[in-house]
Structure 1
Amino acid sequence: MEEKKPVKKEQEIIYYQEDEIDLYELWLTLRKRWKVIAFTTILFFFTAVVYIFIAKPVYTSSFFVKIPGRYIKTGNSISRINLISAEETSRIISDLSANIQDKNYKKQEIPLKLPEDKIKNIKSITPSKIRGNKRLIEVKIESYKPSIIPDISKSLVSYLNSNRYVKRKIETEKEKLLMFIKESKNKLQEMEKTKKLIYKELREGNIKTLGFNPLDLDTKILNIKKEIAELEIRLENLKGFEISVEPTISEKPSKPKKKLILAISTASGLFLGVFLAFFLEWIENAGRRHKNNQTQ
């Protein structure tokens, strides 16, 4: 019987040697083209340094705005419903931010109640909904001057309250509450007149029997007074947009992120340098093979 040759082991050795040769060739290519890699990496690094020095520092701050709402009494419980939804509020703020970014300063100068030089220092105004909280909305402000952030937040709230849609919603709710208060007061007056009349007739003996307990009138009058008090409180609390949490101003700018920019630019320069090194080596080898084919 013939002995079987260890073909598998020989193939593994050949493959292993080929891998070693390929890695060694790659290393030789990198060592040969190290200047290209170093130049590309340094170029990217210094470009990032120049950008960091040229770029304007941006200061970021957030504050929370309370959305106006109305209260509804269902049984013994009172629930709150927003007059303007968080989505509608975000849309109004986003439209304003888009106009600012498009440099429509003149158009927004009066509504924002800010001079043009301050509006020019606003980089962006970004609204975002808070998960699990429909009463508040978070507004992030990016500005080139941190000192104007409080003015921006106050002016933004005034801008929201001056919106026609918002004003109409609040005025409509106020009219409803005033109408309910008026109706309840008229009802209270009628009940008090009825009470006085009944007690007068009872004292004079004109009425001997009643189909109800006179004390029930007192209970109904107290309930109406309580209802009027609740309506007046709801009317008093019915306001427009308000700042719930004031913006905090950081002394350090949030952008540009120097360390991150330097790290990304250095890594990008290194990868591009390696790619250029292999690309140049491939071009050189391709040219050499082309010349050999022509001479043969």
Structure 2
Amino acid sequence: MDNVQNQYDEINLADYVRVIFKRWKLIFLIFVMAVISAFVFSILSPKIYKIDSSLEIGAVGQELIEAPVRLVGKINNQVYNGKYEIGVQADNPVNTQLVRLKIESADFEEAKSALEEVSNLIIAEHQEKLEIRKELIRKDIEQVESKIRLVDGNIQKTKNKINPIESDMKRIENKIQSVKEEQKALEDKVVALEQILVYEQDPGTQFALFDAKEKLENKKQEIENLYLSINSLQRAIQDINIEMANLDVHKDDLELEINKFNKSLQEIEPTKVIKQPTVSKEPIKPRPLLNTAIAAVLGLFIGVFLAFAREWHQKFQL
């Protein structure tokens, strides 16, 4: 059974080869016609060039003016075509803020003009967005500067609170000095009266001693109260100093915020063309060798197919 099948396959293969050799002129004719047609078509077809350019999208600090993917979508949807009907295509290299523009056209001068117009439209649109961003940043700076002026005013008001308190402390210190002198006089009086009473127990002297001691205790209490007042005023000054320190910290934070805004203004990078429209050195279309090779393969297939079709037709006519 297997031998019969192998013989059958050999007969079929021999028939195929026989048909190809029998109809080789037809196959060769179609092959030559396909090759010549493809070659002539390629030579006579207008030469298509690739014209490309590149844009670098601007940014404010680390934030891009427009996402590259969004811009590529707008370009590919012909949003920026303007007066030119040539379709501009774009792509965004991975992990970059670049946008590559390209046109395939036989009229490369018109294509260059189209790319320049599209680039100018994008740059103008982005510049308008930049101006809006700059204006917003300037307004933010003005608001922060207004807050700083307000903080400066509060700092000055807080400083002004210290002067009356220091004046009160100075007045109390002088008062303490005066009361201490009175205390010293009373202490001396008490000593003197006690010495007198050692020799003379006079009621008047005893009353005077009692009165002097009472006044002495009052002076001591008065001095203690004055010291308590000074301590209270010192705590008030400490609280004011803490308040001023907090205001200074707040002012420093605001100044850092202004520095951040100013840095953003300095770091603004506009969208720019980093590669002017450039025409490819060689045309990208047509490609005579490739077209001829494809035509040759197709010609062979068609020639073989027609050869077998013609053989089949003749066989069934008989």
TM-score with structure 2 setting the length:
0.64
What secondary structure is seen at the aligned counterpart in 2 of 1:159? helix
2:284 maps to 254
Return the structure number with greater strand share: 1
Within-5 A mapping of 1:170-249 = 170=130, 173-199=133-159, 202=162, 205=166, 208-209=237-238, 210=240, 212=242, 214-238=244-268, 241-244=271-274, 249=279
Distance across 2 between alignment mates of 1:148 and 1:138: 18
Detail structure 1 runs of 4+ shifted over 6 Å in the superposition: none
Distance across 2 between alignment mates of 1:64 and 1:56: 26
Distance across 2 between alignment mates of 1:174 and 1:37: 73
Deviation (angstroms), 1:268: 1.0
Letter in 2 for 1:233: K
1:126 maps to 89
- Number of paired residues? 248
Deviations 1:250-294 (A, max 9, x none): 322222223221211111111111111111111111111xxxxxx
Letter in 2 for 1:230: K
Distance across 1 between alignment mates of 2:250 and 2:115: 47
Could you list the runs of 5+ residues in structure 1 that have no partner in the other structure?
1-10, 72-79, 101-107, 110-118, 289-296
Distance across 1 between alignment mates of 2:152 and 2:279: 58
Distance across 1 between alignment mates of 2:284 and 2:22: 41
Distance across 2 between alignment mates of 1:62 and 1:187: 51
Indicate conservation of the 8 Å contact 1:149/1:249, yes or no: no
Deviation (angstroms), 1:146: 5.0
Distance 1:94 1:28, change over 3 A: same
Distance 1:18 1:244, change over 3 A: same
Letter in 2 for 1:140: K
Indicate conservation of the 8 Å contact 1:61/1:149, yes or no: yes
Distance across 1 between alignment mates of 2:43 and 2:142: 66
Distance across 2 between alignment mates of 1:257 and 1:203: 93
What secondary structure is seen at the aligned counterpart in 1 of 2:47? coil
Q: Which structure would you say has the larger RCO, counting Cα contacts within 8 Å and 6 or more residues apart?
A: 2
Return the structure number with greater helix share: 2
Letter in 2 for 1:160: I
RMSD: 3.4
Distance across 2 between alignment mates of 1:244 and 1:213: 54
Indicate conservation of the 8 Å contact 1:48/1:265, yes or no: yes
TM-score with structure 1 setting the length:
0.68
Could you list the runs of 5+ residues in structure 2 that have no partner in the other structure?
168-235
